[in-house]
Amino acid sequence: MRTRIGLFAAISAIAFTSFSGSAFGQTASSTTAAPGSPAPWTSWKKVPIPPLPAFHPKQPTKITLKNGMTIFLQEDHELPFINGFIMIRGGSRDEPADKTGLTDLYAEAWRTSGTTDMTGDKMDDILEAKAAKIETNNDIESTGLTWTSFKQDFDQVFGMATNLLLHPEFRADKLALAKQQEDTGIIRRNDDPEEIAEREAELLAYGKNSPYARVPEFATVHAVTLADLTAWHDRTVTPNNMILGISGDFNTAEMETKLRAAFETLPHGPDFVSVKTTFPGPMPGIYLAQKGDVNQSNVWIVGLGTERSNPDYYALSVMNTMFSGGFGSRLFQDVRTRLGLAYAIDGAYGASYDHPGLFYVAAGTKSASTVAATQAMLKQIDELKTVPPSAVELRNAKDQVLNSWIFHFDSPEKILRQQATLAFFGYPSDFIEKYRDGIEKVTAADVTRVADKYIHPSKLAILVVGNQVQFGTPLSTLGPVKTLDISIPMPPGMQQQMGPQ
């Protein structure tokens, strides 16, 4: 925030210097500079822009315990808070297919159940009185625990968090509540057409049986037991499968002593081996998810992206920004601004850390322009391969990437989390420092090369979520249409139990 305020102040000062003369009946260009002083700016376009300084963020202290646990510590004395997190290998991609949703239930019931000597409700009362927080979470590749507190309350809150990590007690009533919440999400998952589109796009790109796209169902959620939660915890929570990070107002040497006392005696466990799978990409074609209660369509064109370890990651990042990165992108300027065919349009050539991200182009359009918007989106994808970036497009895309990228590292805590994430996925610690150099070296020829190498329109799937009665031009104009079944499977007896939905 200090950076943004400083930038705003600088811009304000520039504006005042440039135009204050006009306020007094005098133009900026007629202002006479004092002898020996620099000439006043006559146009904002002539404001000198110095080269960016070298980027070397202050790195956190890294500690590796004898049992394999990795710790990152980052002091930040600006405010009297201490924040901590633990990343644990193993996430939703690693749960059994017939118990999809297990890690959702685990993360919820872990925190709400509490520990062997303190219920989750009691923890809530203590933490609320101290304006502190302890939370558990899950993601596709991990589960985790976070906490935050005032400096003076760290020892107590950290003790509670550590107790929750090492001595949880999963309670039947909290698991039942978590299942009810999951059931509610399943029941309502077809309410929002944008959510339908995102879900079905992932299913098309990764495959309906892929661990990266599986969807919880009533049957899989209700198959999860307390024993499953305990078994998952025992399988994943070992020191060599965890990365711990703490940032805030503390002394590093003192904090290291506390952490060693808490974790160094834990026994080394089996290394967690995550699921291995293949990524064949989507089956090309036109897919319709019929939703009769809407008057606009969500159109997604999807394929597979890449991984951040790909040497072409930098060129793909620039290509992605030029193509779909905001108001100045080709997609926005053509489909939304020039043609007026989309309320909103977005896209990305996704890059995950250890598996292919999602390549997608997505737009919201009125029902009658569904086919026209789709055709315009496909045209822009084709032109990625046939229309090289101009010098202006290349410069603007690179500037946009770097200007937004730096805000990922504008606080000590963000730098800490980036380093922990890199370690979690086995990336070198200087990856973020090399990123800027990699982006700056990208040429127009590089963008053309990666577009030709990675963009294959014939391998993409086109998904439309909307009301086909209102399309005007039939969707079949684009090719044979396959209708997707988005109904929600109900186990025997559940329909009667739950009543009409």
For the chain, 501 residues long, give each residue's pLDDT as a single digit of tens: 333 333 323 333 333 233 333 332 333 344 444 555 555 556 777 888 787 777 777 899 999 999 999 999 999 999 999 999 999 999 999 999 999 999 999 999 999 999 999 999 999 999 999 999 999 999 999 999 999 999 999 999 999 999 999 999 999 999 999 999 999 999 999 999 999 999 999 999 999 999 999 999 999 999 999 999 999 999 999 999 999 999 999 999 999 999 999 999 999 999 999 989 999 999 999 999 999 999 999 999 999 999 999 999 999 999 999 999 989 999 999 999 999 999 999 999 999 999 999 999 999 999 999 999 999 999 999 999 999 999 999 999 999 999 888 888 889 999 999 999 999 999 999 998 899 999 999 999 999 999 999 999 999 999 999 999 999 999 999 999 999 999 999 877 665 555 444
Number of domains the chain contains: 3
For residue 174, tell me if it sits in a domain: yes
In the sheet where 133-138 sits, what is the strand order? Answer: 61-64, 70-75, 242-248, 81-89, 142-150, 133-138
- 183 contacts: CB under 8 Å, gap ≥ 6: 218, 221, 498
- Answer whether residue 426 is part of any domain: yes
Q: Are strands 344-352 and 356-366 parallel, antiparallel or unpaired?
A: antiparallel
Q: Are residues 142 and 32 in the same domain?
A: no
Same domain for 362 and 331: yes
Domain containing residue 418: 285-483
Backbone angle region of 420, left / alpha / beta, with phi > 0 → left and psi within -120 to 50 → alpha: alpha
pLDDT at 478: 97
- Please tell me whether residues 246 and 291 are part of one structural domain: no
Residues 446 and 297 reside in one and the same domain: yes
The sign one gets for the Cα dihedral 362, 395, 440, 456 is: positive
β-pair partners for 463 = 287, 300
From residue 99, how far is each of 233, 247, 326, 412, 464 by CA, in Å? 15, 36, 39, 39, 29
177 and 244 assigned to the same domain? yes
Domain holding 450: CATH number? Answer: 3.30.830.10
**Do 25 and 113 fall into the same domain?**
no
What pLDDT does residue 432 have? 87
CB contact at 8 A, 422 and 70: no
Distances in Å between the Cα of 494 and the Cα atoms of 30, 104, 183, 279, 498 are 81, 21, 11, 35, 6
The model scores a pTM over 0.85: yes
224 lies in the same domain as 324: no
Rounded Cα gap, residues 21 and 33, in angstroms: 12
- Is residue 323 domain-shared with residue 246, that is, in the same domain? no
Same domain, 341 and 414: yes
DSSP 8-state symbol, 142: E
Task: Say if 488 falls within a structural domain.
Answer: no
Q: How far is Cα 218 from Cα 501, in angstroms, rounded to an integer?
A: 14
Say if residue 226 is in the same domain as residue 289: no
Residue 173 lies in a domain: yes
Q: Which residue has the tokens 């315990």?
A: 65
Q: pLDDT at position 441, please?
A: 96
In this structure, the answer to whether residues 8 and 96 fall within a common structural domain is no
On whether both 206 and 234 belong to a single domain, the answer is yes
